[in-house]
Amino acid sequence: MGRNNRSSGGGAKYFIIMMMIYAALTHCSNEDINLNRDKSNELAGSNIESMLEEVEQVTGIETSNNDNLVIIHAAINNSNLSDEEKAIVYSFADIINDNPYIDSNSAYSSIGNVDIFYVPRPDGTSETILGDFNFNKDIINIYTESDSLKRETQIHELLHCLFTNYRNVNIPVFLAEGVTEILVNEYFTPNPFVEESSYPYEVALTKLLCEMVGPDRVLEAYTTGNMNVIKDELRKYEGTGDATTFINASDRVLERLESGREIDPETYNYMINYLDTYFNNKYSDDNEKMEIYNYYRGMLAQIPNEDRYTEYWNYIYENGYYERAYFSSKLKLIYGNDSVRDNVSEEVNPVLKK
């Protein structure tokens, strides 16, 4: 799901936003999955070398260092996709290079068969929903007619198409959307550290998980569906609480937030108390890490507010943002490992794609 929050209006201190909400929902549940459709051996018997040569010839992408770039070959030969849509998949080369955990068989099958339909929003569907991806059918529906929002929705849903497989289809939604939006921000937006994303609170919590267990573990869980790589790291610090309960509580809080239902205070408090205990136990002597935590904790503290998305942007404009890359190797080379706080310019045009 993705939300677009834009404020407008007066005030010298804040660039107030006119709220505009939209969603890019991914429908991937157990009942959607046809286990008779095997995506695990899509590349068996294929001449990978010749396929990679075609990728280089058509796109100019250097493929000699990563056989997983054969996924791009699937887009080249997918007659369902327009040239514009194929170009978006070609632009995923850096994301594929930066992710050693990607399931190339499943991704090749999905990218090679996906079809994108630009259709009227179905009756009874919320106007906040801009699109969805059906993993079993390899279909993306786009409901928006805005060119700028259409492209954002295309990227968001095609990333789900690239990464969703039978093992990770049921990972916590906050993690699925949080990582996807960080990828969108770091690889495709001019302001990669300003949370102009669909899921500001999912992104904030996912970044905290990256600080807790490392971005590589988060990326591995997101890609493979193995949540134990995160939970096992969390369990190294006894006295924090139960890792599974924390993950489940976090998912319930953010699922209720996205669906507009009342958030259970006890569940929310469990999530926050777990985070407090973890960071105080592990990083009490690490001033930089605690500053990062306190920044994102302050952001998560806006969740119980009724006008939580306006409050989110007020928080960003008052407290700035961290120039800290989690997944993009190019941004890591540019910005290094140091965490630099910067202020949001009033020229920034915040758009939350929800």
Number of domains into which the chain is organized: 2
165 and 194 both lie in a single domain: no
Give me the pLDDT at residue 345, please: 60
**Model pLDDT for residues 251-271, shown as the tens digit of each residue:** 999 999 988 889 999 999 999
Comparing 19-23, 31-35, 94-98, the range with the smallest average pLDDT is 19-23
- Residue 21 within a domain: no
pLDDT bucket at 347, cuts 50 / 70 / 90: low
Q: Is the pLDDT of residue 176 over 80?
A: yes
- Assess contact for 289 and 211: CB atoms under 8 A: yes
Residue 116: domain span: 29-169
- Residue 328 within a domain: yes
- Residue 6 within a domain: no
pLDDT bucket at 16, cuts 50 / 70 / 90: very low
- Residue 11 Ramachandran class (φ > 0 left, ψ -120 to 50 alpha, else beta): left
Give me the pLDDT at residue 173, please: 93
Q: Is the pLDDT of residue 33 over 60?
A: no
- Residue 103 within a domain: yes
148 and 221 both lie in a single domain: no
Give percent above pLDDT 70 in the chain. Answer: 82
